[in-house]
Amino acid sequence: MKITEKEVRYVAGLANLKLTDAEVARFQADLDGILEHVERLNEIDTSNVEPMAQVLFDAAATATLRADVPVPPLGNQAGLANAPQPGAGYFKVPKVIER
């Protein structure tokens, strides 16, 4: 067993995902199978390999930096247009602080 039900519930909490009991059971089984497969990575020697954090090809070190020039922003109205609960220039969310 690579992952317990308790760990599945803990990870769902970290990911802010509400799962049903049926989903917890299903994902425990699925993740267990996938983690079992992933174990094979331990067979391969990587002691002399750099982690590939990004795709590298020959490019000047600063080639990807753009000029630091201000451009018009998206704007408040466009930014709020898809909000489930827009306020007057802001996003509304459930109460966070109790009085």
Partner 1 sequence: MNIPTLTIDSVRQGLLGRLFSAGELAAEALRFAEAENPKTGAYLHFSPERALAAARQVDERMARGEEPGPLAGVPVAVKDVIVTKGIRTTCGSKLLANYIPPYDATAIVRIEQAGGILIGKTNCDEFAMGSSTENSAFGPVRNPMAPDRVPGGSSGGSAAAVAQGTAVVALGSDTGGSIRQPASFCGVVGVTPTYGRVSRYGLTAFASSLDHIGPLARSVKDAATLLSVIAGRDPRDSTSAEAPVADYTAALTGDVKGLKLGLPREYLKDLTSETSQLIFKAVDVLKGLGCEVREISLPATDYAIASYYIIATAEASSNLARYDGVRYTFRSEHSETLQDMYRNTRGEGFGAECKRRIMLGTYVLSAGYYDAYYLKAQKVRGLIARDFANAFEEVDAVVAPVSPFPAFKLGEKVDDPLAMYLSDIYTITGSLAGIPCMSVPCGNTAGGLPVGMQILTRHFGETTMFRLADAYERNAGVLE
State the minimum distance, in angstroms, from the CB of residue 84 to partner 1: 4
Q: Annotate 21-45 with DSSP letters as a single string.
A: HHHHHHHHHHHHHHHHHHGGGGGS-
Q: Are 17 and 37 in contact (CB under 8 A)?
A: no
> What residues numbered 80-99 form the site for partner 1, per CB under 8 A?
81-85, 91, 93-96
Interaction of residue 63 with partner 1, rule CB under 8 A: yes
Q: Are 48 and 36 in contact (CB under 8 A)?
A: no
Interaction of residue 70 with partner 1, rule CB under 8 A: no
Angle in degrees, CA 32, 34, 35, rounded to 5: 65
Site residues (CB under 8 A) for partner 1?
3, 7-8, 11-12, 14-19, 23, 26-27, 30-31, 33-34, 37-44, 46, 49-55, 57, 59-60, 63-67, 74, 78-79, 81-85, 91, 93-96
